[in-house]
Chains A and B, each alone.
Chain A
Amino acid sequence: MITRLLTGGEAVAHAMRQIDPDVVPVYPITPQTPIIQTFAKLVADGGAHTQIVNVESEHSAMSAAVGSALAGARTITATSSQGLALMAEIVYIAAAMRAPVVVALGNRALSGPINIHCDHSDSMLIRDSGAIQLFVENAQEAYDVMLLATRLAERPDVLLPVFVCQDGFTITHSAEPVRLLDDDDVHAWIGAYEIPFPLLDTAHPTTQGPFAMPDYYYELRHQQVDAMAHALDAIEELGAELEQLNGRRYGLVEEYRLDGAEHVLVCMGSTAGTAKDVVDQLRDEGEPVGLLRICSYRPFPEARVRDALASADEVIVLDRADAPGARGPLATELAAALYGSGMELRGHVYGLGGRELHPDDLREIFAGDVGRFVGLRGAACLV
């Protein structure tokens, strides 16, 4: 193992070098660009054998990725925001066609207005696509989860595209010490790429991507529901297996100081890092608070969440995306998961378009001293 000072984007590129995917079709967009630039340089210096395909749009990136993955080649790509929006059509299809593509996502706000900074609206756009979405808290986790995601995507009982989601700029562009595994350990972890029906197996020709009428569409799609259910177990199993290698345990959720916690904050991404510090401060002051970080957003770990929050009195959900005309997506998931429990639940929207959330904001959130839209200038509309 070696420790290097890396941004989240660079950490992902190093993970990719060690995974050595066959094909990486990719199109640039801020803040994912350090990923593909770092990786391209690593390949140019002989670090991997990857065919990098510099496509002419993100829609083509995901299209080429599906073609490549189903042909029989390990395939990774990266995008953010508008790029994800443009490829969204194909993300649904990748999931339906069971193409195990890994996508490094630099979470960035969706236009409009156009904004290059972090929020989770791009992830929310594809929440029903059937793709797995794993959120990370920091650059170390971005590296770790790229390795986990590759195994997860390719598990025969899963076979779904997996998005590794890291906050744009906050993680993609912020450097921290990252422990990298040895190349040999990663090769052994990753193993060979195998799918049930490689298109290039010309001795056994297959038709892939059929036209389905009402008599079959529903059942064909239900296979994806089943695959997502298997992913819940797979994420935990692979997290435990990876812990044997790197000493860190990734899972469906992260419970932080939930013992005796009466007020629990729920959030995703880098904000959890700040929130842990605030939880520590408040605990020192005698406040019974804790944090539940959602790591796997899709599949949403409903049962795990209910168990983790069983003894809380109040759940405070932070959404880094809004949904005009409805409640925040994560708050809605939590409300559904906790329905009937009698728990108090309040949801907040924060951090849109890269608006920073400071420790003081979190203190106020815990105390219940803020409206639903944290930091908004002007009275919030609550319709």
Chain B
Amino acid sequence: MSRLKTLVRNEAGVPPLGAGHSLCQGCGIPLVVRTVLDSIPGRKVVVNATGCLEVATTRFPTTAWNVPWLHVAFENGAAVASGVESAYRALRARGAIEEEITFVAFAGDGGTYDIGMQALSGALERGHRFVFCCYDNEAYMNTGVQRSGATPFGASTTTSPSGSVGLGKLQERKDMTAIAVAHHVPYVAQAAASHWQDLSIKAQHAGAAFGPAFLNVLSDCPVGWGHEPREFKRILDAAVETRFWPLYEVVDGAYRLTYEPAERVPVERWLEGQKRFAHLLHPENADLVRHIQRRIDADWERLLALC
């Protein structure tokens, strides 16, 4: 059970990510960062892949970060973290460092699912002790909302736009959480920024794992998804309630659902209110919506069978 007062106390007046950054009005990322970092006790060191979070928080000569923070490039968040963690192990082994440090790598879906996947896979396979947290806002937002491997079927992006002919992205998105599970690491979890308690507990488990931990956190982007910032909670709640984005964890290969929606909510609740899905709600595209619903239903059954 996580309490906000605990998170406040863990911060001890020094937020890991402070104010003054240039993330968009209503950006969903800082919520993920704050929840994850404030839920893990002790010292943290952050590795950040190129993307919205990195660019907007470290415009030289300012920085919004109050924890040690390292950015090298886009595709290598997990590789850089591997190096930092290896250095930590070496320095501890020779007595040069004594304190416990948790290493947390943040990357967007681009830096996790696509260009970052190779480095992530290698780091997971090698068993480095670190938390890799993907803030998944389902497209390359920093560079202008281009589609990624995480972009859901039917979403309109600037490189898969809907139009008089185009229907948005026609490919299904990757199941990155399953890919992480396939690496046989101690802890993998899927979470959502809106469900902060669930994310907080998962972050604690991730930080305590004796090996790699992977957190895939659905995070909204008002600009890229096309909604008012203040709608973020309603929309992310819909992602979870429609079972588009199930909340679960996999501990040493054992699946556990951490939230089960009380009712079966049709996927339209998730699609509505986001401009990137607006074309799907036209009557002539009803087939696409049915396809999405079928996929969600099938994936849900598959997930339940694993739990």
Contact = CB atoms under 8 A, between A and B. Distances in A.
Q: When A and B assemble into the complex, do they touch directly, with CB atoms less than 8 Å apart?
A: yes
Interface string A68-107: 1111110100000000000001100100010000000000
Contacts of A200: 45, 68, 84, 87-88, 91, 97, 101
Contacts of A49: 90, 93-94
Contacts of A211: 54-55, 58-60
B71 interface: yes
Contacts of B73: 63, 89-90, 93
A67 interface: yes
Nearest to B128: A53
B87 A67 contact: yes
A63 B59 contact: no
B68 A202 contact: yes
B41 to A, nearest CB: 14
A67 B58 contact: no
A132 B59 CA distance: 28
A200 B99 CA distance: 10
A35 B70 CA distance: 30
Contact of B83 (A68, A89, A97, A201): A68
A97 to B, nearest CB: 7
Nearest to B77: A63
Given A49-B94, A64-B80, A213-B60, A56 B122 contact: yes
A272 B195 CA distance: 67
Interface string A190-212: 00000000011110011111111
Interface string A34-77: 00000000000000011101111101100111111111110100
Interface string B55-85: 1001111010111111111011001111110
Contacts of A269: none
A51 B89 contact: yes
Given A67-B81, A202-B43, A51 B86 contact: yes
A68 B128 CA distance: 13
Contacts of B82: 25, 53, 55, 60, 63-64, 67
Interface string A204-242: 011111111100100010000000000000000000000
A205 B119 contact: no
A216 B60 contact: yes
B274 interface: no
B47 interface: yes
Interface in B93-118: 93-94, 96-97, 99, 101, 118
Nearest to A197: B68
A287 interface: no
A122 B278 CA distance: 51
B43, B55, B73, B90 interface centre (most CB from chain A within 10 Å): B90
Contacts of B90: 22-23, 49-51, 68, 73
Nearest to A94: B72
Interface in B204-252: none
B86 A53 contact: yes
A25 B122 CA distance: 12
A208 B141 CA distance: 23
Nearest to B119: A60
A23 B87 contact: yes
Q: Across the A-B interface, give the 3 residue pairs with the lowest CB-CB distance, nearest first.
A: A67-B83, A64-B83, A56-B122
Given A51-B89, A67-B70, A208-B70, 13 more contacts: A23-B83, A53-B83, A55-B79, A57-B119, A60-B122, A63-B80, A68-B90, A70-B84, A71-B83, A90-B72, A200-B84, A205-B68, A220-B60
18 contacts: A22-B86, A49-B94, A51-B87, A51-B90, A51-B93, A53-B126, A55-B82, A56-B122, A56-B125, A67-B84, A71-B91, A90-B73, A202-B67, A208-B69, A210-B59, A210-B61, A211-B55, A220-B60
